[in-house]
Amino acid sequence: MKHTLLNISLLACAISTATTALAQQNSEKPQKLNTVKVEATVIEDGSADNGYKSEAISQVGIWEGRSLQDTPYSINVVSSELIENLQATSADQVFKINPATQYFWPQTQNDNPYVFLRGFQTTTFARNGISRQKWNYAHGTTMEEIERMEVLTGLSGFIYGAGNLGGMVNFITKKPTADRLNSITLGNAGGQNYYAHGDFGGQIDSNGTFGYRINLVTQDGETTIDKQNNKRDFISAAFDWQVTDSLLIDIDASKRDYRLDGRNAYWSLANNATPRPDADDIDTGKIWSHPWAMQEMESERLGTNIRWEISKNIKLRAGYLDEYNSRTGTTATNTIQANGTFNQRITTNEDAPQKIMGTGGYLFTDFHFSTGNIQHKLTTGLQNSTSIWDNYPDGSVGQNFNGLKLDKPVYFNEPVWAAHGTQPVYPAYDQRTRSLTIGDDIQFNQHWSALLGLSDSKVYYKNFNTSGVVTEHYKKSEVTPTVSLIYKPIEQLTTYASYMEGLEQGGVAGKLYQTYEVTNPDEIMDPLISKQVEWGIKASVGKLLLTSAIFNIDKPLEYYQILSETQAQFVQDGRQQHKGIEFSATGKITDNLTLLGGFTLLDAKVKDNKQFPEIEGKKPVGVAEKLIKFYSEYNISAVPGLSVNGGASYTGEFFGNNINTDKLPAYTLIDLGARYILPINDTLVTLRLNVNNLTDEHYWANQSFLGDPRNLVFSANVHF
């Protein structure tokens, strides 16, 4: 909680004058009043004191200026203070408590978070409102530099450009602060894995023209999992320049080096008839690859955002992002056999790093005007993004280990790998999207408003052979509409109905699917048009924000069809329909009790499949149809500064194959923790302790990966 002293001497003077006049009626000698100072409490948006409830959001693609309650989409906001109190050194813990997100597998595995939104896998996230292409993924995501995380669920192609069917996670990075900020955290992320984080901000000059924000992170040591070591070093710097009262320019840059030794194995089944072992039979406290299996990432980013109030009625918004990722890894895939043993395939590209380069940007202009009594904010603009992936023709080599047992892992010495990465790199993939968009935010009266828009989207795609010759390519454009009608009967209640269409790039067949050889490698599927209808309601009830949405998404279906024990085919055929309901509650139930929670109930199925009709009516792979989650905090009045927290997250059963014979059981994770804030003069010391997966639940997070074991994390923060 922050306190601000407000010197209201002008008010005191007015009171003094009135009092003097009155006094002169009763006495010849006037009375003199002292200067009055009032201490007021300022509760920040998204803070723990506000129950982590946010009223404001950043721009949502083309749209800007509406409150969270009045935005006709399902959006969940996670503040930096909640991220800090969860001690989230990756995005995983945030996704695990969010009722709209299905946790998929650990970010540590590939240094990239994965999540399901409304039953669709999402691996490519936005950064400061700038969407990124598929091949850029979200490598290098660092929670210590995140000011807020905005999770939009549902079709978002119109909002953020082509793609992003299930939704979009938008990471807003930390910006310079108006007042001096110094914050240092020393913590433990589990096991012997310690870290230090410094966060520093303020103004460079006395006029507030130039501001800065610096974040530094270093982490190293063995994790909770035996023989696994996680190391990362990160630095980010953000600067803003208030050129004039109407023009603001900010620039941010970051660099992250990451390495995981003891990278865990992916799991697969030899065929659809092979029984999956119970997660309790596999020790998740150990790695099931080798201590020398690893993932190494180097990530660099440079971005800028510009806001210019050209006039009272015209505003320009622009953003640009340039990023570079280099990754190498040694990966184990364990294929479980019918007799209960498993075969292990190890591949490495340690000497042949993949280079993934991307750019993205937007340029929007807002025009405010009225037609009679109707108010308009007309926005036109352009969004684009690119991703280029350079690879080596001889990029990887492998080794096999067969007949291994599930009772305990066996570690071999690292093989002497055959030479690889000896040939010149070539541009393996080149993907681009461009969207020209126009939208009108219309305010009819205090109760009725609407969002109307059209987007002309284009997708470009090329892939190349090892000689750099284009082997597959396409270019397609489509005009997609959106319309939202918003009705607000009272100030505390907003209802809406939305329709949206979106264009996304068709999938690309890989060379391997798990351990199956793909019969149509590198084949590009046609671009896809998906549609969504959504009805929603948002209400402010006391200090709680309650939101609910009913949705129906219809999408063309893409999947790998198993043809034999050794072969699979990548197919685009049929439709995939996801319909369901989401509910969330965020805020204070009482002054001392905070609640974040909700549920997602989903009916997802395949329909109209002509090539493989046996999968009609089946559930999509990996999609849980029930998510029920809550997280709460309670301030103990008898001990000022002390609060306890706890949460539970339930993920329903799902299937590991498209014929639904491989059923993975539901699981529930329980977390407990405590926080103690100790003020010492002008310094705040915060001690945090959290136990994640308190009961040490063993579970399949998806068809290929086991979930994390119990993990104890703690930290001490000094804020001065």
Structure confidence by residue, pLDDT tens digits, 41-54: 557 899 999 999 99
Chain mean pLDDT for the chain: 90
Residue 291 DSSP code: T
Quick one: pLDDT at residue 30?
Answer: 42
pTM as predicted: 0.90
Please give the C-alpha separations between residue 524 and each of 132, 458, 460, 519, in angstroms, as whole numbers: 20, 16, 11, 13
Burial 519-546 (b: 16+ CB within 10 A, else e): eeebbbbebbbbebbbebebbbeeebbb
User: What are 28-39's pLDDT values in tens digits?
Assistant: 444 444 444 444
Average pLDDT of span 86-99: 95
- The arithmetic mean of pLDDT across residues 271-290, rounded, is 94
Q: How far is Cα of residue 199 from the mean position of the Cα atoms in its chain?
A: 21
In angstroms, the Cα distances linking 424 to 390, 398, 417, 566 are 10, 20, 19, 31
The DSSP code sequence of 124-151 is --EETTB---GGGTTTT--GGGEEEEEE
* Bridging pattern class, strands 266-269 and 426-443: unpaired
pLDDT tens for 390-442 read 999 989 999 999 999 999 999 999 999 999 999 999 888 888 999 999 999 99
pLDDT tens-digit profile of 556-597?
888 888 888 788 888 888 888 999 999 999 999 999 999 999
